[in-house]
Amino acid sequence: MGMTDLLYARAQMGLSLAFHIIFAAAGVALPVLMVLSDWKGRRTGDADYLKLSQKLAKGTAILFAVGAVSGTVLSFELGLLWPEFMGQYGEVIGLPFSLEGVAFFTEAIFLGIYLYGRERVSPGMHMFSGVMVAVSGAASAFFVTLVNTFMNDPSGFTPSASGPVDVQPLVAMFSPGWQYQTVHVLLSCYQASAFAMAGIHAFVLLRHPGAVFHRKALSVALPLACVTALLQPVVGDLSAKHVAKAQPVKLAAMEGQFETERGAPLRLGGLPNVETGEVPYAVDIPKGLSILAFADPDAEVKGLNAFPRDEWPPVAKVHVAFQIMVGTGSAMALLALVTLGWRWRKKAWPHGRKMMWAWLLSGPLGVVAMEAGWLVTEWGRQPWIVRGVMRTADAVTPVPHLAAPFWTFTAVYLFLGVTVVTLLVRQVAGTLPTRDGGLTGGEAHAD
């Protein structure tokens, strides 16, 4: 097993997850938006909302299908790339995975009924199916995040030379910090999807300011986007406080904190240098980190130097990813504040060019923050696959030539990504106003 094979295995896992996360998040959040506009349409009798819900349903169908197959790839890859991890800890984390399977089942079943059964079931049953899709999607994200929580801070077993003994699956399922991480992840799914949707409709409104359909679509996306963008920093802060206590190495890497010190500053930006133990180009806010992490300006923050060098995560990557997550999160929260202020004063959602530009430019930020946050937690756990008990290097498969599957899946995901974007663009293009003021008929033949 050469070092490069380990890197290829990590790269393939990372690529598969980075790809899948976007589709999984859409599978969690789009059903909510779809049901909301469906419900709005039924309540007001406004055909635009029903049309929006049908468009969202098509988007959900495409994204869910790709999410389902990429999720299948991941469940195989757990074993194909990390057989020792699964061979030893499969039984410890099997429970949340099994429950995720149940949630995935109900999500697929009710999505089938919602998408294809509009004419075959009663309106109440149809709405119920949509709600079940949304609930199952959230449940499945919840359960799978529990697995990640376990990997970050494992509990519910006693490690031994031959693997875990005295396994308590329920304790393992709710490893410390589960409440923060699951809420953080669920919010990120809704936030990323709502910002992306708002960005798309803002883009159309900049080119066609009179497009009523897109004004209404924006009014469905903005409340969810604003609420999640304001809640997320609060939950993120709780999560970071937990990491500070439970995973101090990770916090030190996130903040570029090399020395243990009281009254540690908060470093904004910068690029940590592990050789010199400094963070050049960073802007320091005195005592900021001690306040944020421990709510005490003189609290002691453990630095990386307090830990063996071979247990350090890749400091620069973790720090930069964390800065990106916090930066984009702050920008989104600010935009949400301004938007809600406008909504409160004018009793209408904003539609001016400046605000539309702001929402257009913020459209990708939710996805960026989600990916960056996921990188923080994954890189921040290295060199461990299960923190403190199994190193990633000890979990990897003995199969050689892992470059081949890595490049294959890179090409496959690139192809799928481009295709999905093209299809979604065409879905949106079908709703653009035409010269005679009507809507173009871009209907797929699937209903």
Partner 1 sequence: MPTDAILGFAVAGTFVLYALFGGADFGGGVWDLLASGPRKAEQRALIARAIGPVWEVNHIWLIVGLVLLFAGFPRAFAVLSVALHVPLTLLMLGIVFRGAAFTFRTYDTRGDAVQRQWGLVFSGASVIAPVLLGMCVGAVVSGTIRVEGRVVVSGFFASWLAPFSWAVGALALSLFAFLAAAYLTHEAHEPALREDFRRRAMGAGVAVFVAALAVLLLAREGAPRVWEGLLRSPFALALHAGTAVAAVASFALLWTRRFQWVRVAAAVQAGLIVLGWAASQYPYLVVPDVTLHGAVASPGVQRVLLVALGVGTAVVVPSLVLLFRVFRPAPTPGAGSEA
Instruction: Round to the nearest angstrom and report the end-to-end CA distance of the chain.
Output: 51
Nearer to partner 1, 357 or 415 (CB): 415
Cβ of residue 281: shortest distance to partner 1, in angstroms? 42
Binding part of the chain for partner 1, among 144-152, 257-265, 279-287, 405-413 by CB under 8 A, reads: 405-413
From CA 111, how far away is CA 68, in angstroms rounded?
Answer: 12
Cα separation, 438 vs 297, whole angstroms:
61
431 makes contact with partner 1 (CB under 8 A): no
Q: Helix 3-44 and helix 178-207: axis angle, to 10°?
A: 60
Rounded to a whole number of angstroms, the minimum distance from the CB of residue 66 to partner 1 is 6
Q: Which is nearer to partner 1, 323 or 397 (CB)?
A: 397
DSSP 263: S
261-262 and 266-268 strand pairing: unpaired
Close Cβ partners of 204 (under 8 Å, ≥ 6 residues apart): 211, 214, 428, 431, 432
Please check whether residue 356 is in contact with residue 342, taking contact to mean a CB–CB distance below 8 angstroms. no
Total H helices, total E strands in the chain: 15, 6
| Contact window for partner 1 (CB under 8 A) among 187-195, 200-208, 342-350, 396-404 | 396-404
Binding string to partner 1 for residues 130 to 169, with x set by CB under 8 A, is what? --x--------------------------------x-xxx
How buried is residue 440: exposed, middle or buried, by Cβ count under 10 Å (0-12/13-18/19+)? Answer: exposed
Give the CA distances from residue 181 to residues 32, 147, 148, 240, 421, in Å, rounded to whole numbers and listed in that order. Answer: 21, 11, 9, 10, 29
Question: Site map for partner 1, 4-43, x if CB under 8 A?
Answer: ----------------------------------------
Segment 51 to 110, residues that bind partner 1, using CB under 8 A: 58, 61-62, 64-66, 68-73, 75-80, 83-84, 86-95, 97-102, 104-106, 108-110
Answer for the pair 130, 30: CB distance below 8 angstroms, yes or no.
Answer: no
For partner 1, the closer of residues 87 and 280 by Cβ is 87
Stretch binding partner 1 (CB under 8 A), from 30-38, 353-361, 378-386, 395-403: 395-403
Given the complex with partner 1, which of 135 and 316 has the nearer CB atom? 135
- Asked if 116 interacts with partner 1 (CB under 8 A), we say yes
At position 170, the amino acid (one-letter code) is L
Q: Among residues 9, 22, 33, 115, which is the contact residue for partner 1, using CB under 8 A?
A: 115
Is the CB of 7 or the CB of 423 nearer to partner 1?
A: 423
Smallest distance from partner 1 to CB 20, Å:
11
* Interacting residues with partner 1 between 269 and 288 (CB under 8 A): none
